[in-house]
Amino acid sequence: MEATAADDMSKPQHNDKPKPHKCTVCDKRFATKEHLSVYIRNHTGQKSYSCPHCEKCYNNQICLKQHMNIHSSKHKCNECGKCLQSNKHLTRHRRTHSGEKLFECSVCGKRFTQTQGLRSHSKIHSGVKPYKCSECGKSFRQNSHLKEHRRIHSGEKPFQCSVCGKRFAQAQGLRSHSKLHSGEKPYKCGECGKCFRESSNLIVHRRIHSGEKPFECSVCGKRFAQASQLTQHRRSHSGEKPYKCQLCHKAFSESGKLTTHMRIHTGVKPYECSLCNKRFRSSRGLRTHKQQVHDNRRQYYCPYCGKLFKTATTLKRHTYVHTGAKRFSCRHCSECFRYRDSLKTHLLKSHNEGTWFTCHICQKKFSFKDKLKEHIQRHEGVKPYICDECQKRFCTNGELRRHQVVHSDVRKFCCGFCGKDFKRPQGVKRHFRKCADAIGFDDLL
């Protein structure tokens, strides 16, 4: 029987040509000495072929020739003007604009723009992670991911920005960063016109319009638009806090929170108020400052009493006064609580459910590990939080914030009778009673 063309294509093509030339580093074999010579440069890092336009270097002439096509604009995208090194790369790039995904996973149906993306994804189902880090034992699906990971241990950052000198461990990180200087945002949303530097950011943004949330928590069923959001959410169930401060040993569930926390110890405050020049450790702190100090608008309205609030969070907390809402109920008895922390403490004290955290010095018990750490710091005299104004030290960040009111001119608490302002709530409460007595107002709770 005569074989069809399709049958021929389905059979693997074997290359029986002898490969007598072996790489002494990884034992990979080659048919010619020239191929081996080019390959060895991957291990040595030698890049003899440099681009005269941008000084980018390559370890072989073929790669340089393809790169030169970028400068000649030979393969240019009509949508965003980006120049690619070959027609194949241009075809792939166009799919980021069209959204076309030709390659489908036979297991879960997920689609990809490139075969490489499908091959990498398939390893998720097979569980194959053949590339293992010799430093920490972590395994990876691709060798390229292992190479990038090794730079965490070595601290190597081979990619440098030519504008500001900032260095990166990955080429993709440098490419993304470079667009900050150029202002380039080639990926445009067809719904609202918003532009993005990366196609991946546009893909995530489109889910705002579609409402798509493809990532589901296996514990509680909550869905997310991004895989990173699901990863962070899972830690709320597991209690995992992999990011640990080396100075005070406080742990965090997100790397960004650790970065912000470290500024407490270093004193770095990169966010400056444009109105009063006060500086803050986080962008959130700056936003809160502007809202509470410089912005007099109170746009959040209580439907029960008409009181106005500056933030939605403070309004929500206030409405519990009217509704008496206690969202957290005990599974063993009829007790309900406004806050999750109160429920956890109740379960420990009344039903012996959960784990107490016991001080090894005085045997005092705590419902939360953070409270135990804070308590032990008091035994040891550790005070990692320092006031910028007077250098006084404190055990907790909360104590530091309360102390900083002494140095601040902000008075957030106001007497409802005479309008006098106070820095602390205790002050306005004492004054309020005196003020009420003076005008003969007795109807106080």
Contact call for residues 378 and 395 (beta carbons, < 8 A): yes
Q: For the residues 83-100, what does the mean pLDDT come to?
A: 82
Q: For the residues 401-415, what does the mean pLDDT come to?
A: 76
The topology under which CATH files domain 300-404 is: Double Stranded RNA Binding Domain (3.30.160)
How many angstroms separate the CA atoms of 168 and 166, rounded? 7
Task: Give the pLDDT confidence score for residue 16 in this predicted structure.
Answer: 61
Task: Give the pLDDT confidence score for residue 15 in this predicted structure.
Answer: 54
Contact call for residues 325 and 336 (beta carbons, < 8 A): no
Share of residues in the chain with pLDDT > 70 (%): 90
Question: Which range is most confident: 4-18, 42-56, 124-138, 413-427?
Answer: 124-138
Quick one: residue 165, left, alpha or beta (phi over 0 = left, psi -120 to 50 = alpha)?
left
Share of residues in the chain with pLDDT > 90 (%): 1
Contact call for residues 138 and 153 (beta carbons, < 8 A): no
Q: Which 8-state DSSP code applies to residue 360?
A: T
Cα 170 to Cα 47, 93, 117, 364, distances in angstroms: 18, 20, 18, 49
How many angstroms separate the CA atoms of 234 and 217, rounded? 7
Q: Is the pLDDT of residue 188 over 70?
A: yes
- Architecture per CATH, 241-294: 2-Layer Sandwich (3.30)
Domain residue ranges in the chain: 241-294, 300-404, 412-445
How many angstroms separate the CA atoms of 142 and 327, rounded? 46
Contact call for residues 298 and 312 (beta carbons, < 8 A): no
Q: Is the pLDDT of residue 8 over 50?
A: no
pLDDT, tens digit, 9 for 90 and up, residues 160-182 = 888 888 888 888 888 888 888 88
Contact call for residues 80 and 196 (beta carbons, < 8 A): no
Three-state secondary structure call for residue 76: strand
pLDDT, tens digit, 9 for 90 and up, residues 206-252 = 888 888 888 888 888 888 888 888 888 888 888 888 888 888 888 88
- Among 5-9, 38-42, 239-243, 333-337, the least confident range: 5-9
pLDDT, tens digit, 9 for 90 and up, residues 355-380 = 888 999 999 988 888 888 888 888 88
- Specify the higher pLDDT residue, 390 or 123: 390
How many angstroms separate the CA atoms of 302 and 309, rounded? 8
Task: Give the pLDDT confidence score for residue 362 in this predicted structure.
Answer: 92
125's tokens: 């189902």
How many angstroms separate the CA atoms of 223 and 22, rounded? 51
Q: Is the pLDDT of residue 45 over 80?
A: no
Q: Is the pLDDT of residue 407 over 80?
A: yes
Three-state secondary structure call for residue 327: coil
Q: Is the pLDDT of residue 296 over 70?
A: no
- Specify the higher pLDDT residue, 396 or 5: 396
